[in-house]
Amino acid sequence: MDFLQYTFFQHALWGSLFICIACGIVGTYIVAKRMVFISGGITHASFGGLGLGFFLGVNPILSALVFSIASAASVEWLSKKQDIREDSAIAAIWSLGMALGVICIFLTPGYTPNISAYLFGNILTITGTDLWMAGSLAALLLIGFCLFSNRILYTAFDREFALTKGIPVIWIEYLMMLAIACTIVCAIRLAGIMLLLSLLTIPQMTVNLFTSRFKHIACYSILVGLVGCVSGLLLSYYANVPSGATIIFVLVALFLSCKLGIYFKQKNIRVI
C-alpha cells in the first residue's frame, strides 16, 4: 500500500469520491427522466470547449465548463422555445461541439495538445483545482438534493403533476441541466468524454436491479460508483492500463454479475 503516500494517488481517491457523489445524484435524475441522449450530447459538445481552451491558452476544463453550460441551455431553449425536436437539437449541438473542438485543436499554435486524457480519462492527472471544483459541486448537489429531493422526484417522473402542485418545474429543469453540464466537465478527468456516459448510468442501472425508489437509487449508486472507481483505480495501477477504461470495465462487470446473480436466483440455478 506504499502508493497511498503519493499525492497524485490521494488526489485520485478524493476525486473519485467527489465525482461519484455528483454522478450518483445527477445520473439518477438522468435515468429517471430518460435524458441519456441529452447527456451524451452535452458530453461530446464539451470537446468544443476543450478545443477553445487550448486555442485561447486558458484552462481547458474551465472553457469546457462554459461551453457545456451553454450547450445545455441551447438544447433546452431550442426544444422548448423554438419548436425544434429535442433529438434534432441535441444532434446539432453534439456535432457543432465536436467540429469546433477539432478545428481549434488543429489551429492551436505550437505542438498539438495531448487530448487522450480528456477523451479516455486519467484520474491520476487530477489537480488541486480539479478537486476543489469537484468537491464544491458535490457539496452543492448534496445540499440541493436533501432540500428539494421531492420536487426533483416529481419533476423527473411526472412533469404535469408537478405543475399542478405549483412546483417551479422550468427552473428545476434548467438547474438540473446546469448540474448535468457541471458534473460532466468535472468527471472528464475520471472517465473521459468517450466513456463518461457510462459513469452516469451504469451505477444507477445496477442499483435499479434491487430497488426502484428514487432516493435509494441516488444514495446506493454513489456507493456502487465509488466501489467501481476505487477497484478500477487499483487494478489500473497494478496492470498499468488506462484508469478511465478500467473503471468503466469494473462497473460493467459489477452490473453483469448482479444481473446474472438475479437470473440464477429466479431460475433456481446453483453455481458451484
Q: Mean pLDDT across the chain, nearest whole number?
A: 85
pLDDT in tens, 110-145: 776 777 778 877 787 788 888 888 899 999 999 999
pLDDT average, residue stretch 72-85: 77
- For residue 76, pLDDT over 80 is answered with no
Whether 224 maps to a domain, the answer reads: no
N residues, the chain: 272
Share above pLDDT 70 across residues of the chain, in percent, rounded to a whole number: 96
The three cell numbers of residue 134 are: 469537484
Residue 226, helix vs strand vs coil: helix
The CATH number of whichever domain residue 78 belongs to comes to 1.10.3470.10
pLDDT average, residue stretch 174-178: 87
Q: CA 219, CA 241: separation in Å to the nearest integer?
A: 30
Give the model's pLDDT for residue 261.
Answer: 85
What percent helix, strand, coil does the chain show, rounded to 5? Answer: 85, 0, 15
Whether 247 maps to a domain, the answer reads: no
Share above pLDDT 90 across residues of the chain, in percent, rounded to a whole number: 17
Give the model's pLDDT for residue 203.
Answer: 92
Q: Which helix (H) or strand (E) holds 81?
A: helix 60-81
pLDDT category of residue 7 using cuts at 50, 70 and 90: confident
Whether 82 maps to a domain, the answer reads: yes
Whether 266 maps to a domain, the answer reads: no
Give the model's pLDDT for residue 202.
Answer: 92
- For residue 255, pLDDT over 80 is answered with yes
**CA 81 to mean position of chain CA atoms:** 26
74: alpha, beta or left, given left = phi > 0 and alpha = psi -120 to 50? alpha
Whether the Cβ atoms of residue 205 and residue 255 lie closer than 8 Å to each other:
yes
Least confident of 34-38, 174-178, 209-213: 34-38
Amino acid at 164: T
Number of domains in the chain: 1
Whether 132 maps to a domain, the answer reads: yes
Give the model's pLDDT for residue 26.
Answer: 92
Whether 144 maps to a domain, the answer reads: yes
Q: CA 54, CA 118: separation in Å to the nearest integer?
A: 12
Whether 211 maps to a domain, the answer reads: no
- Tell me the HSE value of 83 on the side-chain side, using a 13 A CA sphere: 0
Whether the Cβ atoms of residue 61 and residue 185 lie closer than 8 Å to each other:
yes
Whether 34 maps to a domain, the answer reads: yes
Which range marks the domain in which residue 185 is found?
A: 2-194
Whether the Cβ atoms of residue 190 and residue 130 lie closer than 8 Å to each other:
no
